[in-house]
Structure 1
Amino acid sequence: MRWTPWMHGLVAAVCTAPLMAHAARPMNTDDARVVDDKSCQLESWAKRTDGHTELWAQPACNFTGNLEVTLGGAWTREDGGMRRSAQLIQGKTLFKPLETNGWGYGLAVGVSRDPRPGSGGGHDTYAYVPASFSFADDRLVLHTNVGWLREQGTHNNRLTWGLGSETQLSDTNWLVAETYRQGVGKPYYQVGLRHWLVPDRVQVDATYGNRFGGEGGHWVSIGLRLLSPKFLP
């Protein structure tokens, strides 16, 4: 495959990422959707928690019509310095695309790593099934995830799950809420607002999240999502 200028630009935009690629910002629970055919998106956000700030970037493209490929990562500012804290590559496909007042499901598979010293080394491997359900002409959409995570540092296998909702408040505003679990300990929860500055092209969001029981501390995040028109060959 010959590398073109836009491909170099895409790789240059990748910093680093979380254990799993997120659904459409600002949710962690993934949806049964992929980026439009021959199009790309860039999701970026800042997350403030427990005295440090994480900066994320996750570009994703759909080259074939039913395969969304995500590259991503994060930088973390702590102890007066900035360091790369995560890297990820993921592929997602749909077996049944989500339809209005219907449902859909797919499969996502990925590999992630934390390059920081003392992180345990190795790569985490994961897979999960996202399923989504549309109600009231898409004004309410529910998402469920069930999956598996292989922690290479400890060689443990973990069950992962998520349950989330998107509720339309107006033509450009949405309420999002979710709970999810990606490893050991109590589940997390997150609530937030999503606003379209330019419908289907430019989105901003803000969230508050925590762990049930207060374990692990709370966080706030703000994000920006950019979606391109069809432009890939």
Structure 2
Amino acid sequence: MHPFSRLISKRLYVLLVALGIHAPVVHAGRPMAVDDAAIINPQGCELETWVQKNQSETQYWALPSCNISGNFELTLGSVRTVSDQDKQTAIVMQGKTVMKRLDTNGWGAGLVIGNQFDKDKSPAGDIYVNVPVSFSYMDDYFLVHVNSGWLHKRDSGRDLMTWGVGSELQVTERTGFTSEVYRQDVGKPYYQLGIRHQLIPNRLQIDASYGNRFNGGDNRFFSIGIVLSVDALIP
């Protein structure tokens, strides 16, 4: 029997989702912004690509990643931002490793270091460090991720503390829901709710999300994306 069906009451389900809701470019896999304590399988590669529509601009993301050494995941991608006034492209470079593997019904921890910079400027851009800690429940059908990190904004010279708490709830073998709260810049934190569906298990995923800042206003956004995964692409 699927673990989700074993929940003894609707009240318990509501509590689990609430834990996730009240639970810099890093993420636990589309459509989440919060990262997890896991990496791609050794020698495997993955492409996360999505379109995010904000009130004043549209972002086009492409983040290919590969596990190049067994415990080191390298990401090299870009984001194209288009608005009525401007168009610009930023490069994303990121490395991730696992310090403790996430066990089923256990916990794990990782380390992420990255850099995001305008392609027409110096590669010394916005530097970030993040430590994701993940917790597994219900045989991996319910995951909670806690992030804490540091971000250096090159243009302003400011150093900021970043954080995030999110959850993944697998409701069928192929479909799951995500919820999260995170702060990656100055001002109030964001929240985001998402859904993902495996068209081809462990190979092709589609997903979508809605998010906003807690002060509301013109900060809401929508996204839709896909994830392509390949095993043993690296010799």
CA deviations over 1:162-216 (Å, ceiling 9, x no partner)? 1000001111100100010011100000001110000111000010000001155
Tell me, which stretches of 5 or more residues in structure 1 are unaligned? 1-18
1:84-103 correspondence to structure 2 within 5 Å: 84-103=88-107
Q: SS of 1:137's equivalent?
A: helix
CA deviations over 1:85-133 (Å, ceiling 9, x no partner)? 321101000110111101100110011113479xx99511110101100
Q: SS of 2:51's equivalent?
A: strand
1:1-233 correspondence to structure 2 within 5 Å: 19-79=24-84, 83-115=87-119, 122-233=124-235
1-structure distance, mates of 2:89, 2:223 = 17
1-structure distance, mates of 2:30, 2:167 = 12
- Taking structure 2 as the reference length, the TM-score comes to 0.86
2-structure distance, mates of 1:194, 1:96 = 26
- Alpha-carbon spacing, 1:164–1:230, altered in 2? closer, same or farther (3 Å): same
Q: SS of 1:77's equivalent?
A: strand
Does the 8 Å CA contact 1:32/1:94 hold for their aligned counterparts? yes
2-structure distance, mates of 1:150, 1:31 = 21
Q: Pick which of 135-144 and 105-114 moved more.
A: 105-114
Give the CA RMSD over aligned residues: 1.8
Tell me, which stretches of 5 or more residues in structure 2 are unaligned? 1-23
Alignment-derived partner of residue 7 in structure 1 = none
2-structure distance, mates of 1:152, 1:95 = 28
- Which one scores higher on RCO, CA 8 angstroms, separation ≥ 6? 2
Amino acid in the other structure paired with 1:89? M
Flag the structure with higher helix content. 2
Q: CA deviation at 1:84?
A: 3.2
2-structure distance, mates of 1:21, 1:146 = 11
2-structure distance, mates of 1:175, 1:121 = 36
Does the 8 Å CA contact 2:42/2:70 hold for their aligned counterparts? yes
Amino acid in the other structure paired with 2:81? T
Does the 8 Å CA contact 1:113/1:124 hold for their aligned counterparts? yes
